[in-house]
Amino acid sequence: MDTAAAERTGPAERADGPRRRGRVLGAWLSGLVLAGVSVVAGCRAADTDGITPVPQLLAFLPWLLAPAGFALLLAALARWRLGLVWGVAVLGVVAWYIEPYGRTSEPSGAAVAGLRVLTSNVQFGRGTDALVPAIRRERPDIVFVEECENGCQDRLREEFGKGDFPYRAAVEGGGSEGSVILSRFPLRKAAGVPGTMGMPGAVADVNGHGVRLQLAHPMPPLPDQVGLWRKELGTLRDYAAAGEGQPTVVAGDFNASQDHAAFRRILDTGLRDGARLAGSPRTPSWPARTAPRIGAQIDHVLVSADFSARRAAFLPVAGTDHRALVVDLTLHQRK
14-46 pLDDT, tens per residue?
557 778 888 899 999 999 999 999 999 999 999
Give the integer Cα–Cα distance in Å for 58 and 257: 8
- What's phi and psi for 84, nearest 5 deg? -65, -45
Give the integer Cα–Cα distance in Å for 158 and 178: 17
Query: For the chain, how long is the longest CA-to-CA vector?
Result: 100
In Å, how far are 12, 16, 22, 85 from 7, measured between CA atoms?
13, 16, 25, 41
According to the model, what pLDDT value does residue 3 have?
46
Residues of the chain with pLDDT under 70: 1-15
Determine whether 318 is exposed, middle or buried from the number of CB atoms within 10 Å of its CB (0-12, 13-18, 19+).
exposed
Count other Cβ atoms within 10 Å, centred on residue 20.
11
Q: Single out the residue of 270, 278, 310 nearest to residue 297, CA to CA.
A: 278
> pLDDT tens digits for 142-171?
999 999 999 999 999 999 988 899 999 999
According to the model, what pLDDT value does residue 312 have?
98
The helix/strand/coil state of 75 is helix
Half-sphere exposure of residue 244, counting CA atoms within 13 Å on the CB side?
A: 2
The helix/strand/coil state of 225 is coil
Determine whether 144 is exposed, middle or buried from the number of CB atoms within 10 Å of its CB (0-12, 13-18, 19+).
buried
According to the model, what pLDDT value does residue 18 have?
79
Count other Cβ atoms within 10 Å, centred on residue 223.
10
Contacts of 78 (CB under 8 A, 6+ apart): 22, 23, 24, 26, 27, 30
According to the model, what pLDDT value does residue 259 have?
98
According to the model, what pLDDT value does residue 334 have?
83
> Where in the chain does DSSP place strands (E)?
111-121, 142-146, 167-171, 179-183, 187-190, 201-206, 209-216, 248-253, 272-273, 299-303, 307-315, 324-332
| Cβ contact 261:49 at 8 Å | yes
